[in-house]
Chain A
Amino acid sequence: MAPAGPRFGDAIFANVERVNAELFTLTYGAIVRQLLTDLEEVEEVNKQLDQMGYNIGIRLIDEFLAKSNVSRCVDFKETAEMIAKVGFKMFLGVSASVTNWDADGTCCGIVLEDNPLVDFVELPDTCQGLYYCNILSGVIRGALEMVSMKTEITWVRDMLRGDDAFELQVKLLKQVPEEYPYKDDE
Chain B
Amino acid sequence: MGREVSESCIDSLLTEMVTTYCNRFYANKPELAARRIEAIGFQVGHQLSERYTMERPRFSDHLEAIKFICKDFWSELFKKQIDNLKTNHRGTFVLQDNRFRWLTHLSLDPTTENTEDPNGRSENKGAQVASMHLYFPCGIIRGALSNLGIPCAVSADISNLPQCSFVIRIKA
A contact residues vs B (CB 8 Å cutoff): 13, 16-24, 26-31, 33-34, 38, 48, 51-52, 55-56, 59-60, 63, 90-93, 116, 119
Contacts and interface: CB of A to CB of B under 8 A. Distances in A.
A91 B39 contact: no
B142 to A, nearest CB: 13
Contacts of B3: 20-22, 93, 116, 119
Interface in B6-47: 6-10, 12-14, 16-17, 19-20, 25, 36, 39-41, 43-44, 47
Most-contacted residue by chain B among A27, A34, A56, A90 (CB, 10 A): A27
Contacts of B51: 22
Kindly list the 6 A-B residue pairs having the minimum CB-CB distance in the complex, ordered from nearest. A21-B3, A17-B7, A30-B43, A18-B4, A30-B40, A56-B12
A152 B94 CA distance: 49
Given A23-B10, A24-B13, A38-B25, A31 B40 contact: yes
19 contacts: A13-B6, A16-B6, A18-B4, A19-B9, A20-B4, A21-B2, A21-B3, A22-B48, A23-B10, A23-B77, A26-B43, A30-B44, A31-B13, A31-B17, A34-B43, A52-B16, A59-B12, A60-B8, A116-B3
A91 B19 contact: no
Given A24-B10, A27-B44, A55-B19, A93 B5 contact: yes
A110 to B, nearest CB: 17
Interface of chain A, main secondary structure: helix
A13 B128 CA distance: 33
B25 A91 contact: no
> What is the size category of the interface that chain B forms with chain A?
20 to 34
B51 to A, nearest CB: 6
Interface of B: 2-10, 12-14, 16-17, 19-20, 25, 36, 39-41, 43-44, 47-48, 51, 76-77, 79
B132 to A, nearest CB: 15
Contact of B48 (A26, A60, A93): A26
B30 to A, nearest CB: 15
Contacts of A93: 3-6
A130 B40 CA distance: 19
B31 to A, nearest CB: 15
A17 B44 contact: no
A21 B48 CA distance: 12
Nearest to A52: B16
Contacts of A16: 6-8
B16 A56 contact: yes
Most-contacted residue by chain B among A16, A17, A22, A63 (CB, 10 A): A22
A27 B40 contact: yes
Contacts of B48: 22-23, 26
Given A27-B40, A52-B20, A18 B12 contact: no
A27 B2 CA distance: 17
B3 to A, nearest CB: 4
Nearest to B4: A18
Given A20-B2, A22-B51, A26-B48, A91 B14 contact: no
